[in-house]
Structure 1
């Protein structure tokens, strides 16, 4: 798939030279540049970093748990964008088991959704506040075997955008598909990325 490269920010190791790659997906109202700033805190020195940018700053217009038809058109387009970045990484010679998805909020949901719809052995999926997308989780949408891929989901137990119930439902399905899921759930109600999450990810996935 051809990608409009003006919509992708690239940093880190040159992709033709990289053995590892991270696909970073920003949240609603943010940008590729903003999610790339996470590289200051995450152990990504030996990774090629690719961050696609959503049109008008949003990957889909409504809540990730809105009725499916409400988000369908935009979500399909967004998943195709992620597929394009994935294809570029794989065609460069990076093996799937050396590719990590990293997302925050809307980007975390999209990271989990793309990975679950294309489950295979990956380097990891790091979801800072997110869950699988849809009014309900429909198991028939997902296929493949994660083959012990580490999946991290960190969040508040009272996050205003992502209910804890959906995070736990996502954990159940991802585990059933062969992922090794780690949840870090915090007592606060902040919609943010915490130092404890960064430390866990750096020590266990990256």
Structure 2
């Protein structure tokens, strides 16, 4: 699963100096998440958007035991890894690879980078947290070396409890991430202009 061709936009990989990997939410599509790129400051970036099979990266809640989301979750993480490998094959180093995801795609974004922590260009998670019924630090390894990470969410959010966002921030910070967490009262399950502005000022500056 998750074998659909990578959707690309922005600058050609062959000439781009930076790459942004965008991960859509449940029920979304690469076209949906790529449309968000018009609002962030990425004119010199190659944009890479994997496609989830049947528009869903994994079938159950991100708070379910990971085994209940297999093999979809492992395949989803592998799809992100292929996008990273494609950027690296074009000569773009990890320090110039950025990530952005919304909702289920934000959860997948955080889970991928935490399992492969290194110095990335930056990470944006619009409404997401690390995956699993509990957070097992043994799943995560590496050192973000100060990678800027932005997590924005609503309190409450029907899909993503604010407690998991805070726990994710703590774990990512422990891996060396420079995490900025913003919790917006009653924002709803969406992406606000304020979140976009924060992402632009912290990550895409």
Q: TM-score, normalised to structure 2's length?
A: 0.97
User: 1:111-166 deviations in whole A, cap 9, x for unaligned?
Assistant: 00000000000011100000000111010000000000001000001000000000
User: How big is the alpha-carbon RMSD for the aligned residues of Structure 1 and Structure 2?
Assistant: 1.1
SS in 1 for 2:14: helix
Q: Distance in 1 between matches of 2:164 and 2:172?
A: 12
1:90 aligned to which of 82, 88, 91: 88
Indicate the residue corresponding to 2:79 in structure 1.
Answer: 81
Q: Does 1:115 align with 2:113?
A: yes
State whether residues 160 and 189 of structure 1, in contact with CA within 8 Å, keep that contact through their aligned partners in structure 2.
Answer: no
Residue 63 of structure 2 is matched in structure 1 by 65
1:7 Cα offset (Å): 2.6
What secondary structure is seen at the aligned counterpart in 2 of 1:37? helix
Question: 1: CA distance between counterparts of 2:160 and 2:97?
Answer: 25
| Cα distance in structure 2, aligned partners of 1:68 and 1:83 | 18
Provide Cα deviations, 1:35-80, integer angstroms capped at 9, x if missing partner: 0000111111110000000000000000000122110210011111
Q: Could you say which residue in structure 1 is the equivalent of 2:153?
A: 155
Q: TM-score, normalised by structure 1?
A: 0.96
Instruction: List alignment gaps of at least 5 residues for structure 1.
Output: none
Please name the residue that 2:14 is paired with: 16
Partner deviation per Cα, 1:157-180 (whole Å, 9 max, x = no partner)? 100000000000000010010000
Q: Deviations over 1:60-119 (max 9, x none)?
A: 000000122110210011111111111111111001111110000000000000000000
Structure 2 residue matching 1:125: 3-state secondary structure: strand
Deviation at 1:189, TM superposition (A): 4.5
The separation in 2 between residues aligned to 1:41 and 1:189, in whole angstroms, is 19
Could you tell me whether the CA contact under 8 Å between 1:22 and 1:102 is conserved in 2? yes
Which residue of structure 2 aligns with residue 137 of structure 1? 135
CA distance in 2, matches of 1:44, 1:189: 25
Runs of 4+ aligned residues of structure 1 deviating over 2 Å after TM superposition are none
Helix, strand or coil: the match of 2:138? helix
* Aligned equivalents of 2:20, 2:197: Cα separation in 1: 17
Q: CA deviation at 1:199?
A: 0.4
Residue 98 of structure 2 corresponds to: 100
**Aligned partner of residue 7 in structure 1, secondary structure:** coil
